[in-house]
Every structure is written in structure tokens, then in C-alpha cells.
Structure 1
Amino acid sequence: DDDDDGACGLCARALATARGDGADDGARATLPGTPVRARERRRFRSMTTPEAGRICGACYQREYRARCRARASAERTCARCGEGNASGRWARSHAPPTKGETVCPKCYESERRARTVATGGRGDGERCARCEKIGPGSEKTYWYRAEFGERRGKRVCQACHKLDYRERLNADPSVFCRGCEKTALVTNYWRRIVGENGATAGHWCDACYKKDRLRRMNADPSVTCATCEATTSGGPEWRRKGDGYVCRTCVSKERTRANRRARGEANRDGNREGDDA
């Protein structure tokens, strides 16, 4: 019997000695040498692995917390973005139209930063050391520390942080594009290509990075167009659509159809206004 071995069925920790009719489920157990009220412990059975038999209180608490998290994750949905599987600490929304409802960590952080920017809170009412913009420029971005030049260590917005990063790499003689051997960029940013083993293949300009990614995706048999099932796409790149990809041809067709619909709706609205006049 699992009651006779005196050990937790999950962690093998020695269980407390039985007191009274301790063989029954839910009976009390005591640790000798301590006051009765302090040494009373309740024994438990595992709910997730019944074959483990009796378990200690610590293992039961871990199972209980895991069940609560799983139940809450299955029942809750972010009132702002509809996400249901976001990790982290969920919270109550403080901003309309979702005030009082449960939101995911990302949306709650977005709300918090929006409140801080609106009230001119510490750190968000300052000016960017490069462009002198007040605040981070967006409720979803953060301040950064400049790492290059005379502004080193000062607060900069996200856009200026990217510009500083590009200038710092442009000034580094060891940095050059592995595709076209360009040593400095005027637009866009330096990219890094990560191989299958996790190693990086040097720096790449944006154009060469997209060409290499397009080549690798065209050679991957698992990448197909979600619309026409084509296995290759023209430049500059495959486009995301939900969990899949769309080739350049289908993207162009969708854009053309959308433009035609927009022009047709504009013409109908204009004709309707003319009739009303």
C-alpha cells in the first residue's frame, strides 16, 4: 500500500507520521517534537498522476497552482486584442473602452505607457537627445541609451537609436556587407543572418539580406503560397498572411483588386452626392 512507505509519490520526500486514523483520505499527520497545532499536516493524493498515490503538501500545491493557471488560460481572453495564450502577468484594464476587463501583459503595458506619456511622467516627458522629440514617440516604444558619439549615454527615441546603431556600424572598419561588400549604409539598417546552427553570418545590407532570404525560402519545399500554392516567389520577398505566406504575384493581384474596389466605392459615393444635389 502507498500509505505504508511513508514517502511522497512524486518527490520521494518522507511524509509525516500518521496520527489517529491516518490511513484514511484527508486524515491528519504530525511531525514529532512540535506543538500539535503547528505539526498537523494534511495528506493529499495527486490529481494529475493518480498512480503516484499520496503526495506531500508542496507537490499538491504545485499541482493546484498549475491547474489554476491552465483553467484561467483556457477561460480568459484579452479584452483589447483577443489574445488568449499570452504569457506573463495579466491585469485589469484602466482605460476605456475595456476599463475593468482583463487584458494581456502587452496591452496592459501599452496602456501604462500611454498614461505615463499623457501625464508627463518621469522619463517620458524628457526630450530625445538627437531629435528633441518629447516622449518616446509612441506608447509602444521605449527610451534607449545612445551608444555612439557625443550623445553617448543620453536618452534617445527608438528611431534615433536605430540611426545611432547604423552610424556606429558604418564607422566600424570590420563591418561590411557579405553580399555586395558595401561598407556604409545611407538608408535602412544593417541586418544579421542566423544559420541553422545559431551562428551569425556577418552583416548584410537590407537589399542583400532580402535577396538571400528570398533565395532560401524559394529553396524550402515547406514554403508555399497560401493563395495559389506556388513554391517560388519573385522579389523582393514573400509576404506574411496569417500563419502562411503569399507570393509576390498574389500580393500584386490583391492590391489591384483592393484599389479597384476603393475607386468603385469612391465613384458610387460621388454619383450619390450628385443625385442628392
Structure 2
Amino acid sequence: MRNFVITTDSNSDLPIEYIKEKSIGIIPHYYNLGGITYGDEVNLTPKEFYDRMRAGLMPTTMASNPQVIRQTFQNYINLDLDILHISFSSGLSGGCSNVMAGARDICEENPDAKIIVIDTLNASLGEGIFVIKAVEMKEEGKTIDEIASWLEEHKMNFSTFFTVNDLYHLQRGGRISKTTALIGSIMNMKPILYINEEGGLVPLTTIRGRKKSLSTIFNYMIDNMGRYKDDNDIICIAHGDAPDDAMYLKRLIKEALPHKKILINTISPSIGSHSGPGAIGLCFMGEKR
């Protein structure tokens, strides 16, 4: 049985320290800001990216590059490693289909190779938790097939709730109408969204006021955990350059669930281009999406 590597994409929003420590392979998603394409060797810091958005620059995004995918996979195959790739939602990007096509081509050219692609139907640290669980199981001695089977079986137990601070970016991405965005902004309404069973980001409700919207996604998390409340060993908070709000959520979680590990990281520019500065996501394991 060959050894294997776990790979994912930059939209999983995992901390760079974790990626390096666990030797996770990363396939980049791209964004263009001010006429410059970022995502490969050249990148902005999260602070630089969100500050430029606040100054009025509007980024565009691009999915993963098929040539980069093929080269990344081939490099691991050349080392006699199989690959478990954990992908950004096919419901939000064409990147997953690019990865599946690349994996299929590489396996046709290398009959002894095995590449398993998991479509998480999730995003940000909701995707990242898949990676964390896969790494834990690999370190316990589980095989690539055992890990892939577990992830597929529990796919709908990885939950992600979001709220955003500025409705304009949702309107620009076609999630809400221009009229809804205008009225909502005037009334200080904050949408609550979640990633559904098809992997799409869909509105759930609207709440007036920022702090109340944060408390609402926390309450949704508690309600959705169900029987996973005790088994949920990690809860993730993703934020669009809003560290104070992330710490507020962390305090709420620690008061209710003092023994849980909490991971906080910034939302990657490829996702943040659509959610904007101030977006906050809660990612965890629950009984349902």
C-alpha cells in the first residue's frame, strides 16, 4: 500500500503554519485587483487586500488553473504518493471540476496512481475542517480509502454559517438585489447565510445590528450541533479582517463550550472578494447543514 499526501486549495483558509506543519499541498485560486493577478507566487496580505477593498477597489476571481493542478498532482505521483484532494465547493466555483478533470487525466497517464477528490460542498474553514479531520485520521493510521469514505459519509455534518457587514458585495455577486442591498444598508440589516446541501451560499434570514447578527450565527451553531456538541473537538471562525468580531464570537463560544478548541483565521481573498471586509463565518460539525 502506497503512502499518500493530503492536498486542498487556498479557499480552505487554513493557517499557513498548519499547512507547513502537516505538509498539505495547496492548489491556488486566483483574484485580480487593480489589474494585477494574485494567488500564485505573488500575494497580498489579508490586511492589504481588505484595505484596498475598503478604499473602493473591486476584485474579480478566477478558479484554479488546470495546468497548475496537473503539475501539482504529477509532482506527487512522481514521488510514488497517492493523493487525497479536498476541494472547494462545486456549487460555488468551477475549481472542483478542474481538479477532477486533472486527476482523471493524470490517472489515465499513470495507471498505478490513485487520486481521490472530495467535493466538500463547503467553503472557507468549513472546507478546512475536512482537511483537519483527514489529517487527524491519517496520523491515526487510517488508509486513504478509509478517510475518503468517512468524509463522504459525514459530508452533510460539516456546517458553515456566515454573516456579512456590507450588503454591497453580496449584491455585486448577485446574491441579493440592488434594492434589497440599499434598503438593508439604510436599516442596518445584516444577512445570515449558510452553505446548503448543494454547496451554495444561500440567505437564511436578516438581523438588525452587527452584534446581534454575530449572536445569531452563534445560536444557530448551538442548535445545529445536536449530538455532535460533545464530539465536536474544533470550532472554526473565519473573518474578513474583523479580528475584534472574531474574538467576540470566540468569547461566546468559550462561555458555552469552554473545552472546545477554536481556530481563527482570515477569509482568503478569493472568497473575500465576494463576501467583503467584515464577513464572519462559523464552521463546525453538526447534525445537518
Q: Which has the larger radius of gyration?
A: 1
Q: Same fold (TM over 0.5)?
A: no
Q: Quick check: which one's helix share is greater?
A: 2
TM-score by length of 1: 0.24
Identify, as 1 or 2, the structure richer in strand: 2
Higher relative contact order (CA 8 A, sep 6+): 2
TM-score in terms of structure 2 length: 0.24
